[in-house]
């Protein structure tokens, strides 16, 4: 049984017995201890977030954010503890959440001195705004106001982004790939995108983020994961441009300084465990691909990216701390816990 076959067996077995894939990453230290390219290279800490599966179980580790206290907040669809707070050293500080079986997207937003979380649940077809202690303050139900949905089951939200005025943007990544815009109070404003092949349409609008790299010209970056690209929109939903990421099924974008980061779920299929992380500069050019091949451009065109097939299984998000270390939660990866990439 080769490594991929064994890993797949471990995922299936762990799904049944609720234990993580303990063999994942064991080849890492001897074969490729440092990953990445150029100025963005990292040492991999495979066991950074590993916990007792009996005390702190996870299913899919979907997304992570960091609050102003430095705590790393993980969202998982395990209803014994949907939300897990980590210290930067990997210690669990607290947990909460038992009601989000389809927990998927996690966004942190600061209003004044207080921070709030936005959680999407594609199984419940809803989006929730909560305090950091888990109190639900706002619930967004399926957007019947749009006129494009007949029933909640057609709507499977995957991500949110919060505009500078508090507007809430929700991507229906596992539904009809619309972006729905609400006021901060949850009042419907508009929708745009939608599944299709036109330049302003999307193929699996999996993620969205507010691009703050040019403060005078804020934009929305919306992932079209099925097409292996992302698209730029104005804050009122007007299409601007498409940036292709050939070979990379990207999740949501994360901004840190002048750089844009994506986790790459896979390049071929989730069962190949061939994900990676990509780092883009302010011109949206890939400058490093930890866990993948060195980015190569020919006549301004990015060439197909390839995974190293060892660093990750199915990366689903990235969280970048103040030292520009990267934390990587993973989907359908044998209940494994987040991985830390320490910048070197």
**Termini Cα distance of the chain:** 35
Burial class of residue 2, CB neighbours in 10 A (0-12, 13-18, 19+): exposed
pLDDT at position 15 is 44
**Structure confidence at residue 21 as a pLDDT band (50, 70, 90):** low
- Say which DSSP state 12 is in: H
* pLDDT (tens digit per residue) in 98-153: 999 999 999 999 999 999 999 999 999 999 999 999 999 999 999 999 999 999 99
Give the separation between CA 286 and CA 252, rounded to whole angstroms: 15
* pLDDT (tens digit per residue) in 215-261: 999 999 999 999 999 999 999 999 999 999 999 999 999 999 999 99
**Structure confidence at residue 335 as a pLDDT band (50, 70, 90):** very high
pLDDT at position 230 is 98
Mean local confidence (pLDDT), 277-299: 97
Complete DSSP assignment for 153-192: GG----EEEE-TTS-EEEE-TTTT-EEEEE-TTS-EEEEE
pLDDT at position 14 is 45
pLDDT at position 12 is 46
Q: How many CB atoms lie within 10 A of CB 287?
A: 17
**Structure confidence at residue 270 as a pLDDT band (50, 70, 90):** confident
Measured CA distances, 221 to 110, 203, 231, 253 (Å):
20, 14, 6, 7
Contact 131, 116 (CB under 8 A): yes
Give the separation between CA 325 and CA 344, rounded to whole angstroms: 9
pLDDT at position 25 is 53
Contact 75, 64 (CB under 8 A): yes
Task: Select from 99, 188, 118 the least CA-distant residue to 160.
Answer: 118
pLDDT at position 3 is 46
Q: Mean pLDDT of all residues in the chain?
A: 93
Tokens 């067996």, located at residue: 9
The residues with which 43 forms a beta bridge, in sequence order, are 34, 342
Mean local confidence (pLDDT), 56-70: 98
**Structure confidence at residue 22 as a pLDDT band (50, 70, 90):** very low
Mean local confidence (pLDDT), 285-312: 96
Q: Cα-Cα-Cα-Cα dihedral of 198, 200, 201, 204, to 10°?
A: 130
**Structure confidence at residue 200 as a pLDDT band (50, 70, 90):** very high
The C-alpha angle 297, 250, 155, rounded to 5 degrees, equals 145
pLDDT at position 23 is 52
Mean local confidence (pLDDT), 191-218: 98
Tokens representing residue 178 in the block: 């619309």
Give the separation between CA 250 and CA 264, rounded to whole angstroms: 4
* pLDDT (tens digit per residue) in 79-89: 999 999 999 99
pLDDT at position 240 is 98
pLDDT at position 56 is 98
| CATH number, domain 3-343 | 2.120.10.30
**Structure confidence at residue 33 as a pLDDT band (50, 70, 90):** confident
Task: Select from 80, 79, 83 the least CA-distant residue to 101.
Answer: 79
Contact 314, 333 (CB under 8 A): yes
């Amino acid at each position: 049984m080769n490594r991929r076959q064994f890993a797949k067996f471990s995922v299936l077995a762990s799904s049944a017995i609720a234990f993580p894939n303990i063999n994942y990453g064991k080849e890492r230290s001897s074969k490729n201890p440092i990953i990445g390219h150029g100025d963005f290279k990292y040492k991999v800490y495979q066991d950074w977030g590993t916990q007792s599966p009996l005390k702190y179980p996870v299913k899919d580790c979907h997304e992570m954010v960091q609050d102003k206290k430095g705590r790393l907040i993980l969202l998982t669809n395990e209803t014994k503890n949907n939300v897990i707070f980590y210290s930067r050293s990997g210690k669990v500080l607290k947990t909460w959440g038992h009601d989000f079986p389809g927990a998927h997207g996690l966004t942190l937003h600061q209003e004044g001195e207080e921070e709030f979380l936005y959680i999407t649940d594609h199984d419940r077809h809803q989006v929730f705004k909560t305090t950091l202690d888990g109190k639900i303050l706002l619930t967004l139900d399926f957007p019947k106001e749009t006129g494009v949905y007949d029933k909640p089951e057609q709507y499977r939200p995957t991500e949110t982004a919060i505009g500078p005025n508090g507007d809430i943007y929700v991507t229906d990544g596992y539904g009809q790939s619309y972006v729905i815009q609400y006021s901060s109070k949850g009042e419907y404003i508009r929708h745009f995108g939608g599944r299709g092949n036109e330049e302003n349409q999307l193929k699996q609008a999996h993620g969205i983020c507010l691009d703050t790299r040019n403060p005078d010209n804020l934009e929305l970056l919306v992932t079209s994961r099925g097409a292996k690209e992302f698209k730029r929109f104005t804050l009122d939903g007007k299409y601007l441009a498409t940036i292709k990421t050939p070979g990379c099924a990207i999740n949501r974008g994360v901004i840190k300084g002048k750089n844009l980061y994506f986790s790459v779920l896979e390049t071929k299929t989730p069962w190949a465990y061939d994900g990676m992380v990509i780092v883009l500069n302010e011109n949206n050019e890939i400058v490093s691909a930890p866990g993948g091949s060195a980015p190569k451009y020919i006549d301004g065109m990015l060439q197909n990216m390839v995974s190293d097939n060892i660093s990750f299984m199915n990366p689903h998000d990235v969280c970048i701390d103040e030292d520009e270390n990267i934390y990587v939660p993973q989907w359908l990866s044998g209940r494994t816990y987040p991985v830390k990439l320490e910048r070197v």
